[in-house]
């Protein structure tokens, strides 16, 4: 196969898909943990358990998955020379928003770790839907390439 990646293209594409699945699985679970954490009394055993779960999910799964998804995705974009395509610009913009949300979720996690959460259960319920909506847009851009 011609292009930047040569015969490794399908391997990199597989790696990208696996990393995106791991990242999104974490992203769909982390705000749900925040919802439950809101209901836990500060300093309780339950609250401390949520802190551990949130930290491990973010650091051991979501952060590495995001890095691999970005690296493999940029390699794929270079391989297919997508830089000038309209669909790619929209996908990249949505991905940047998703990455910014990832960083913000890290701040929310730190606030919970310091017993300084300032958001409600309802806020996290709404934020739980945002990654899914961004994912839909990203997948449609990548697969359908509407423009």
End-to-end CA separation in angstroms for the chain = 25
CA distances from 132 to 42, 92, 129 (A): 29, 16, 5
**Helix-strand-coil split of the chain, %, nearest 5:** 80, 0, 20
Does 91 carry a binding-site annotation? yes
* Dihedral angle, C-alpha 86, 140, 75, 95, nearest 10 °: 80
145 appears as a binding residue in the annotation: no
Binding site per annotation, positions: 16, 91
Binding site per annotation, positions for heme: 16, 91
């Amino acid at each position: 196969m011609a292009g930047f990646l040569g015969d490794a293209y399908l391997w990199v594409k597989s790696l990208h898909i696996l990393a995106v699945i791991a990242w999104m699985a974490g992203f769909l679970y982390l705000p749900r943990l925040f919802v439950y954490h809101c209901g836990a009394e500060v300093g309780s055993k339950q609250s401390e358990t949520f802190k551990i779960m949130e930290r491990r999910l973010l650091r051991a799964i979501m952060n590495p998955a995001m890095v691999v998804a970005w690296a493999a995705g940029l390699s794929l974009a270079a391989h297919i020379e997508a830089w000038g395509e309209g669909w790619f610009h929209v996908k990249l913009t949505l991905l940047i928003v998703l990455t910014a949300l990832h960083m913000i979720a890290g701040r929310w996690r730190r606030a919970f770790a310091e017993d300084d959460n300032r958001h409600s259960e309802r806020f996290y319920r709404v934020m739980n839907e945002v990654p899914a909506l961004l994912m839909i847009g990203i997948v449609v851009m990548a697969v359908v390439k509407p423009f």
